């Protein structure tokens, strides 16, 4: 169980805490607002360190497309500020509330540490593409900086990439600088019925081979479509964003080129993509929630193979796909009725269809902890990458005081 929590206010304040943690080999469980603690293993016997007091926007120059803030700044504050200035974080960080509960929208640092990216990831990039630089304390208890505060920079290793998605296992980010972009003038969606997943995927490929620039593309099987307020068959949802004249023109072309399309106005479009982005459509499932990242064109085969492996009793696992089919969200019980487990099955299937990974982002079983018999939440690493991960962990956090074991054993 976690011990009493600490909420330092400055980076300087945490250095002695880290020094003591190193001396006593006492791990620290590092969180922002603790909205995403369901992802990964719980850190055993750790002192909880909450970074939600490292708040404040330090510098924001809209026309430079750059924002510097402290990592504990609430996403709500960041989003409001950007909206006021007609800008956005283009990677569309999901709102954690639908999937993980609570009433906090998370912190900027938490979004970065988990590389949380939404539907526009397909065309605009992920959180990892928008962190320009940072200041942090490594697990060695030393302050360091990397990157810069300008949008174009190749000076030294791109440590920002390493920080994003490292779940607080390498260093504690304090000041972070992100690239912002103008918010599109308007955004609407088109929905098209599809006979099955593979027809849906072919349609999306065909749409991306036109110059009509969709910003996002999802596939909703009929049950998910119904939940999202769309009736009928499986639906392909395409979002068009940008200047109003352009969006109207592109919509017209696509509706002409592809049959049975329906236009969804700005309000409906926003709601649809929020549901897709926040995994709202699966949030009330009493099952583990999985995120599968695969080659977009493999989505159909991955789904088909999974269904083929499943017994009739399990086939009801609800799922939908974002990122043109390259991101499958699935709610699945831990064990199949045949006694196997879903995680292993998913990972095998993904490996057979061009590779990728499966990550469990939420579990229905709250007692999983470090039980080695349970399927690991993060995809196990092959030997080459595991060796590099271990050595990188040691380079930043040699004693293992920062979230040890959150991602993989010792990492």
Partner 1 sequence: MQMPEPDASVIARREAILTSLRKIVPAASVVDSEEGRRAYDADGLSAYRQLPLVVVLPETVQQVSDIMRYCHREGIKVVPRGSGTSLSGGALPLADAVLLAMGKFNRILDIDYANRCVVAQPGVTNLAITHAVEDEGFYYAPDPSSQIACSVGGNVAENSGGVHCLKYGLTTNNLLGVEMVTMEGEVVRLGGKHLDAGDYDLLGIMTGSEGLLGVITEVSLRILQKPATRRALLVGFDETATAAQAVGDIIAAGIIPAGMEMMDHLAINAAEDFVHAGYPRDAAALLIIELDGPEVEVDALIGRVDAIVNQAGASSIKISMTEEERMRFWAGRKAAFPAVGRISPDYLCMDGTIPRRALPDMMVRMATLSQKYGLRVANVFHAGDGNLHPLILFDANEPGELQRAEDFGADILRACVEMGGVLTGEHGVGVEKRDLMPIQFSEDDLKQQQRLKCAFDANHLLNPGKVFPQLHRCAELGRLHVHQGKMPFPDLPRF
User: By CB under 8 A, what part of segment 317-336 binds partner 1?
Assistant: 323, 326-327
Element at 356 (helix H, strand E): strand 356-362
Nearer residue to partner 1 within complex by CB, 104 or 360: 360
Nearer residue to partner 1 within complex by CB, 225 or 303: 303
Q: What minimum distance in Å lies between the beta carbon of 64 and partner 1? A: 5
What residues numbered 53-112 form the site for partner 1, per CB under 8 A? 61-66, 86
Q: What minimum distance in Å lies between the beta carbon of 315 and partner 1? A: 25
C-beta of residue 349 within 8 angstroms of C-beta of residue 306? yes
Q: What minimum distance in Å lies between the beta carbon of 223 and partner 1? A: 25
Helix pair angle (299-309, 197-208), 10° resolution: 170
> What is the total residue count of the chain?
411
Pairing of strands 234-242, 186-194: antiparallel
- Structure-token match 């206010």, residue found: 9
How many binding residues for partner 1 (CB under 8 A)? 96
Piece of the chain touching partner 1 by CB under 8 A; list 42-50, 74-82, 101-109, 117-125: 117-125
Does 13 interact with partner 1 (rule: CB under 8 A)?
Answer: no
Nearer residue to partner 1 within complex by CB, 153 or 222: 153
Q: What minimum distance in Å lies between the beta carbon of 406 and partner 1? A: 12
Cα-based angle 397, 400, 404 (whole degrees, multiple of 5): 115
Among 125, 318, 333, 340, binds partner 1 (CB under 8 A): 125
Nearer residue to partner 1 within complex by CB, 104 or 393: 393
Q: What minimum distance in Å lies between the beta carbon of 205 and partner 1? A: 5
Nearer residue to partner 1 within complex by CB, 295 or 374: 295
What residues numbered 129-188 form the site for partner 1, per CB under 8 A? 129, 138, 140, 142-146, 148-162, 164-166, 170, 181-183, 185
Pairing of strands 47-50, 28-31: parallel
Among 37, 297, 334, 341, binds partner 1 (CB under 8 A): 297
Q: Site mask, partner 1, residues 227-246, x = CB under 8 A?
A: ---------------xx-xx
C-beta of residue 263 within 8 angstroms of C-beta of residue 270? no
Both tokens of 99, joined, read 């999937």
- Map residue 382 onto helix, strand or coil: coil
Q: Site mask, partner 1, residues 25-44, x = CB under 8 A?
A: x-------------------
In angstroms, what CA-CA distances link 72 with 6, 93, 145, 349, 373?
A: 14, 15, 17, 38, 35
DSSP string, 39-98: SSPPPTT-EEEE-TT---EEEEEGGGTEEEEETT-BHHHHHHHHHHTTEE-TT-PPPSHH
Does 357 interact with partner 1 (rule: CB under 8 A)?
Answer: yes
Nearer residue to partner 1 within complex by CB, 12 or 150: 150
What residues numbered 246-265 form the site for partner 1, per CB under 8 A? 246, 249-250
Beta bridge partners of 182: 87
What residues numbered 186-225 form the site for partner 1, per CB under 8 A? 201, 205, 208-213
Which residue, among 361, 218, 358, 377, has the nearest Cα to 296 in the 3D structure? 218
C-beta of residue 28 within 8 angstroms of C-beta of residue 402? yes
């Amino acid at each position: 169980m976690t011990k009493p929590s600490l909420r330092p206010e400055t980076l300087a304040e945490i250095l002695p805490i880290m020094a003591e943690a190193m001396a006593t080999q006492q791990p620290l469980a590092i969180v922002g607002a603790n909205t995403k603690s369901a992802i990964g293993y719980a850190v055993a016997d750790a002192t909880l360190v909450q970074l939600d007091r490292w708040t404040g926007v330090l510098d924001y120059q809209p026309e430079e497309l750059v924002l510097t803030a402290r990592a504990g700044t609430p996403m709500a504050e960041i989003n409001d500020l950007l909206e006021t200035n007609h800008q956005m974080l283009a990677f569309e960080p999901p709102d954690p509330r639908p999937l993980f509960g609570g009433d906090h929208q998370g912190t900027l640092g938490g979004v970065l540490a988990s590389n949380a990216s939404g539907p526009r990831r397909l065309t605009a990039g992920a959180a990892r593409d928008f962190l320009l630089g940072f200041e942090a304390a490594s697990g060695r208890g030393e302050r360091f900086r990397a990157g810069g505060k300008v949008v174009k920079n190749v000076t030294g290793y791109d440590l920002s990439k390493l920080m994003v998605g490292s779940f607080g296992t390498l260093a504690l980010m304090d000041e972070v600088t992100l690239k912002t972009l103008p918010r599109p003038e308007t955004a609407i969606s088109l929905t098209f019925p599809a006979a099955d997943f593979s027809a849906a995927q072919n349609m999306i490929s065909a749409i991306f081979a036109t110059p009509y620039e969709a910003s996002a593309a999802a596939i909703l099987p009929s049950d998910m479509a119904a939940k999202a307020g769309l009736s009928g068959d499986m639906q392909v949802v395409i979002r068009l964003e940008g200047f109003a004249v352009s969006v109207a023109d592109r919509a017209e072309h696509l509706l002409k080129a592809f049959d049975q399309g329906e236009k969804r106005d700005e309000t409906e479009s926003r709601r649809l993509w929020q549901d897709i982005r926040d995994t709202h459509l699966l949030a009330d499932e009493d099952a583990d929630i999985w995120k599968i990242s695969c080659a977009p064109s493999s989505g159909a085969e991955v789904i088909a193979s999974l269904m083929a492996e499943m017994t009739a009793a399990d086939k009801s696992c609800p799922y939908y796909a974002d990122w043109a089919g390259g991101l499958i969200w699935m709610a699945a019980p831990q064990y199949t009725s045949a006694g196997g487990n879903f995680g292993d099955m998913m990972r095998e299937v993904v490996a057979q269809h061009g590779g990728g990974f499966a990550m469990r982002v939420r579990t229905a079983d709250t007692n999983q902890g470090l039980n080695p018999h349970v399927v690991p939440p993060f995809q196990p690493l092959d030997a080459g990458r595991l060796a590099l991960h271990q050595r990188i962990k040691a380079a930043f956090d040699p004693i293992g005081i920062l979230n040890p074991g959150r991602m993989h054993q010792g990492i």
